[in-house]
Amino acid sequence: MCKEEVTCGIVGIGLYFPENVRTYKDIAELSGIPEDVVLNKLGINRIYYPGEKDQTSEMAIWAAEDCLNRTGIDPKEIDLIIYFGENYSDYQLFSIAPKVQGKIGAVNAWCYDMECKCGSAVVALDQAKKYLMNDAGINTVMIAGGYRNVDKVDYKDNGISFLFDVSCGGAAAIIKKGNNRRVVLENANIADGQFAESIIVPGGGSRIPFTPENINKDYLKYYRLQDPQGFRSRLAPITIKNLAKVTEMACKKSGLSLSDITFICPLHMKASAHRELLGYLNLPPEKSVYLSDYGHCGQLDMLISMRNAEEKKLIKEGDVVALIAMGFGYVWNAGIVKW
C-alpha cells in the first residue's frame, strides 16, 4: 500500500455519456426477451448508445476534460496518462493515450495504453499508484478510458444475452501524490486462462481476416460465445467466489479484512449475481451502487460507481471501498480505496 508518508489519492472523476439511450423496452424488442426479464433479471433499465461523434477516443477525451474541469487541475501538471479503455476503438492498431495527451494539452505528460479487459480501471489505479510511489518525477497521473463495445452486441443471439447490458461512455480520474482523500491502497488479481477464447469477435483479426467473400457474414462481426454449455458449466461455479476471493486478497494486502469493507463499487452484472456478491461480503444492497441506469460500460464501471456513490452521499469519510471487477479471459480484480 502507499507508504504512510506518501499517500496516493484520487482527486476526482470525470465522466461522459452519449445522448442516445436504449431502454429495457428497446432491448426486449430487439432481442425477443420479455421486458420484465431484461429489467429485473438482466438488471437493465437503460443503456447508452453511441452517436456518430461518440468514438472511443473522443469519449475518453471528453471524460478527461470533465475530470480537469471538476478538479481544477491544470493539464500541464499531469506527468503521466494511462489509457485503460477498450482496444476496440476508432481504428485498428491505434494508441489512444497520445491522442488524449494532445487533445487536453498535457504537454508535460508521457503516456501509454494498457488493458485488462473490464478489470482495467482497478489495474490502472494500481499502476498509477506505483509510479507515484516510486518515481520522484511523477506527482500527478491521469487514467482515462473510452468504451463502445455495444457495437459488437448482436441482440438476435440469445446465447450472449448476458452481454445485452453492454453500454458505452468515457471515464477518467486524476491521482496525486500526497492527496489524503480517496487513498488508493492495494489491489489483487486472479486469472484463469482456460476461458481465454471463450468470448470473441471472430472476424477481423489475423486468424479470420475480412475478405470480399466473408465481409457480409454477421457471425464474424459480433461477440460470439464458444462452447456455450462448457463455458457456463465451468465459469458459473467460480465467478462470484473468485470476486469475493480477490476482494479478500486485496483487503489482506491493504492490512484489512473483509469485515472492514463498508461499500462496494462493482462492475454491472445481472441482478442475482450482484445480490450473491453482496451476500458473500455480508453487505446490504444500500452499501453498493447498481448501474441499472448505465448498463455495463466495461472498464469504466468502477469509476462510474464511485462518482455516483459520492454524489448521492452514499460514501462518507473513513469508509473502506472495494472496487470489484472481472473481465473476459478470465480475470478477476479488486482494489481498495480509503475515503
Per-residue pLDDT of the chain (339 residues; tens, 9 = 90+): 444 568 999 999 999 999 999 999 999 999 999 999 999 999 999 999 999 999 999 999 999 999 999 999 999 999 999 999 999 999 999 999 999 999 999 999 999 999 999 999 999 999 999 999 999 999 999 999 999 999 999 999 999 999 999 999 999 999 999 999 999 999 999 999 999 999 999 999 999 999 999 999 999 999 999 999 989 999 999 999 999 999 999 999 999 999 999 999 999 999 999 999 999 999 999 999 999 999 999 999 999 999 999 999 999 999 999 999 999 999 999 999 999
Angle between helices 301-311 and 120-134 in degrees, nearest 10: 80
The last residue of a domain, from among 161, 180, 199: 180
- Same domain membership, residue 173 and residue 115: yes
- The pLDDT score that the predictor gives to residue 2 is 46
Domain boundary among 180, 206, 227: 180
76 and 217, same domain (yes or no): no
Same domain, 60 and 169: yes
Last residue of a domain, one of 180, 206, 223: 180
Number of domains within the chain: 2
In the DSSP assignment, the letter for residue 160 is G
Report which secondary-structure segment, H or E, holds 325.
Answer: strand 320-327
Residue 272: per-residue pLDDT = 96
122, 269, 296, 300 from 326: Cα distances, Å? 10, 10, 12, 12
From residue 49, alpha-carbon distances to 125, 147, 153 in Å are: 27, 11, 11
Residues 46, 160 within the same domain: yes
pTM: 0.96
Are residues 40 and 153 both part of a single domain? yes
Q: Domain of 306: which CATH number?
A: 3.40.47.10
One-letter amino acid at 215 equals I
Backbone angles phi, psi at 2, to 5 degrees: -60, 135
What is the structure's pLDDT at 6? 82
Which residues span the domain enclosing 229? 185-338
Residue 2 lies in a domain: no
**Residue 3 domain-assigned?**
no
* CA 66 to chain CA mean position, Å: 18
Quick count: other Cβ atoms within 10 Å of Cβ 90?
13
